[in-house]
Amino acid sequence: MDEIRWGLLIVSYLFLGGMSAGLYFVSALATYLQDGGQPAYPRIARVGAMLAPWPVAIGSFLLIFDLGKWYRFYKLFLHFEWHSPMSIGSWLLVGFTLLSLAYFWAWLPAGVIDSVVSRLPKRLRVLGIVAWPGREGLRRPLAMAGFPLAVGVGIYTGVLLGAVQARPFWNTNLVAQMFLFSALSTGCAALILALSLHRDDLEAREARLLYSIDIVLILLELFIVIPYIVHGALSPLAVRQALALILGGPYTFAFWVLFLTLGLLVPLALELYEMKPVLLERASLHPNRVLAGATAALIIIGGFVLRYVFVYAGQVSSFQ
């Protein structure tokens, strides 16, 4: 290959797809966790549901836009090639997008629907039925159905790369996990960011939930990055050469500074700092809006950089 074939559009697509999966996942978790028959974290669930469909939708457009012949994208759906991660992923993506739209609808506040419908011309007022009150009952089933699909999408963005034997940088089963946890973490961060920008304050218990989830995800990511590097360094030559791309090659700065330090370690430290009262003093935490926003932004940027480094460095790596 004479050039980088997959560029920033694909990076963005993988990133946005993952973020949707993360948003859906955390929101679904918040829907699932009940507190006296009611969702324990309704705000997290609702905001997550409101946001989840859009990154992946935008990402899909970017993907189509990246095709040599964008208007042929429909051909993806004339075929199902079980051995092609992209074919599986495309179907998965459609399923997930439809589900997240349904989930979005199920969480859409009736007031919003009413005020939109009331502005429509008379003939279209029948659309008021989308405000069907029974949809609330669908929230939990949709959330449950969403777990596998969200996890699938999160993994898929990694499998797409990891399944390519030709690129030793990718061709390890750690990439899929890495991308999954990073996806969930960026989704979580997107929620932290959204809530910290919300006119109501970020509630302590909400922050506690999100931070806890995120700390776990970041730790998991770290537990993957370390074996990825250690394993890679002990692997056949092609893999070691591929690893050189981040261990003293063109992507070293992006990987170590932008992703690992600013995208993982610093947010982890900030989150632990925020959680300190909970963890050490068994007190309740006092979320700092600015700190929360900054942490979330760093995680999001880190997630993007991770995809950037993997997509680019992976294409450069080869057996020859």
Residue among 34, 35, 65, 75 that touches another protein (CB under 8 A): 75
231 binds another protein per the rule CB under 8 A = no
87 binds another protein per the rule CB under 8 A = yes
Between 84 and 261, whose beta carbon lies closer to another protein?
84
Between 151 and 166, whose beta carbon lies closer to another protein?
166
Minimum distance from residue 1 beta carbon to another protein (Å)? 5
Alpha-carbon distances of 298 from 25, 261, 263, rounded to whole Å: 20, 10, 5
Minimum distance from residue 230 beta carbon to another protein (Å)? 21
User: How many angstroms separate the CA atoms of 167 and 256, rounded?
Assistant: 21
Between 56 and 298, whose beta carbon lies closer to another protein?
56
Handedness of CA 211, 266, 15, 228 (dihedral sign): negative
Please identify, among the stretches 109-117, 142-150, 238-246, 270-278, the one whose residues bind another protein according to the rule CB under 8 A: 238-246
Residue positions counted in the chain: 320
Residue among 119, 165, 282, 290 that touches another protein (CB under 8 A): 165
Under rule CB under 8 A, how many of the chain's residues touch another protein?
A: 44
Handedness of CA 83, 87, 91, 93 (dihedral sign): positive
User: How many angstroms separate the CA atoms of 189 and 197, rounded?
Assistant: 12
320 binds another protein per the rule CB under 8 A = yes
User: How many angstroms separate the CA atoms of 232 and 249, rounded?
Assistant: 15
- How many of the other CB atoms lie within 10 Å of CB of 227? 13
3-class DSSP state of 249? coil
Residues of this chain that bind another protein (CB under 8 A): 1-6, 66-69, 72-73, 75-76, 78-79, 81, 83-87, 90, 160, 163-167, 236, 238, 241-242, 244-245, 249-250, 314-320
